[in-house]
Amino acid sequence: MGASRSLPSNALGGWLHTHSALEQFEPLTHFLLQFQSDHTRRNYFADIEHFFAFWNENGTNLAQSLNQINEKHILLWLEQFKQSSTRARKLASLSSFMKFCESRRWTEHNPCVLIKRPSVTNRKTSQALSEEEVECLMHHLHFRAFDFVYSGSHATRQKGTALLRFSVLHTLFTVGMRVDELCEMRICDLDLASESPKLRFVTKGGDEHTTLISSSCAEVIQFYLSEMRSHAEANDTVFIRVQDSRKPVKLSQTSVFQMIRSAATEAGINKTLSPHSARATVATVLHRSGVPLGFIQRLLNHKQITTTAKYVKKANERSESAALKAPVASWLTTDKTSD
């Protein structure tokens, strides 16, 4: 099976250590090591660990023999979850794990494929923003970062937070990267000084991806670095939390989620938003500008073009989202960063 990678002592190794029943469970360890994101690892671990803990409490240690797992085990476990969306997610997590084990010959079959996936209705999806809404959002963030006058003992911290919010959301809405890719991006991954600025990041599948970025995005990131990360080293993450502690703490996905929700509320935008809204918006902009779906697929790093099609489907159905026609970079005013 080849040499195994070492476990991060503060992440995966720590989770397994706190759950002694699975501490030496090699299949789960190797399954989780496929994923670069701590957030993804944590979610898969929680679902899969819950399945084995459920049956361990009921007197059956299925972790000792994966071939014993059958449809009945899975259906009885799923019964405790009332919401169909939760059951669907739990089943998807377990199925991914069992499929991995089948490919490694730790089990002979994946019993999850025999179970009908729960029907998920009223699923809330992140909405794309219209051109006017993006302009409104960015102008608000720009104002808070550069024109608003802060006072009091926390003025410096508040201004730093405003600059961080502007820089993070500007990057998401112009590059279209995933939020975990943004949070993990390091300073050495940036090439901002060349005529064609670019950045590098690790994608969802663990592959390295390099993409060109607009000069406006490069200027925003460069200004943020000069103001907030002047003493950072090459391997440090680009975006960190604004706090009193001297030890830098990288930005979390939860923090970015809160950023876009609060910024939208402050700007008067009444939509269900998440960091994924930025990707949906970029896809919609490109689609409405006549960019081929295959190009958008490569830009957003989708393995299946059907995933890309889902991003733009809503724009075809809703006229307010179809208003997106201008290039992304033209929405944004960054002249303050060069003052």
pLDDT band, very low/low/confident/very high, at 275 (cuts 50, 70, 90):
confident
Indicate whether 298 and 158 sit together in one domain: yes
The pLDDT score that the predictor gives to residue 163 is 95
Indicate whether 295 and 228 sit together in one domain: yes
Whether pLDDT at 71 is above 50 = yes
Backbone angles phi, psi at 112, to 5 degrees: -65, -25
The pLDDT score that the predictor gives to residue 138 is 92
Residue-wise pLDDT tens digits, 126-176: 678 887 888 899 999 999 999 998 888 889 999 999 999 999 999 998 888
Q: How many residues does the chain have?
A: 339
Q: Is residue 123 part of a domain?
A: no
Indicate whether 76 and 141 sit together in one domain: no
* pLDDT higher at 309 or 323: 309
The pLDDT score that the predictor gives to residue 220 is 94
* pLDDT higher at 335 or 283: 283
Whether pLDDT at 315 is above 60 = no
Mean per-residue pLDDT, 220-241 = 93
pLDDT band, very low/low/confident/very high, at 218 (cuts 50, 70, 90):
very high
What's 160-177 look like in SS3?
HHHHHHHHHHHHHHHHCC
* pLDDT higher at 140 or 311: 140
- The whole-chain average pLDDT of the chain stands at 79
The pLDDT score that the predictor gives to residue 212 is 83
Mean per-residue pLDDT, 210-236 = 91
Residue-wise pLDDT tens digits, 197-215: 888 877 766 677 788 888 8
Per mean pLDDT, which range of 102-111, 134-143, 150-159, 309-318 is the poorest? 309-318
Per mean pLDDT, which range of 160-169, 214-223, 244-253, 262-271 is the poorest? 244-253
Indicate whether 177 and 319 sit together in one domain: yes
pLDDT band, very low/low/confident/very high, at 323 (cuts 50, 70, 90):
very low
Indicate whether 177 and 246 sit together in one domain: yes
User: What CATH number does the domain containing 186 carry?
Assistant: 1.10.443.10
pTM: 0.61
Q: Distance (Å, rounded) from C-alpha 144 to C-alpha 140?
A: 6
User: Which of the residue ranges 106-110, 204-208, 329-333 has the most confident prediction, judged by mean pLDDT?
Assistant: 106-110
Per mean pLDDT, which range of 37-51, 144-158, 290-304, 325-339 is the poorest? 325-339
User: What CATH number does the domain containing 21 carry?
Assistant: 1.10.150.130
Indicate whether 318 and 218 sit together in one domain: yes
Number of domains in the chain: 2
Q: What count of other Cβ atoms lies within 10 Å of the Cβ of residue 312? A: 21
**Owning domain of residue 225:** 131-338
Indicate whether 246 and 147 sit together in one domain: yes
Last residue of a domain, one of 114, 148, 180: 114
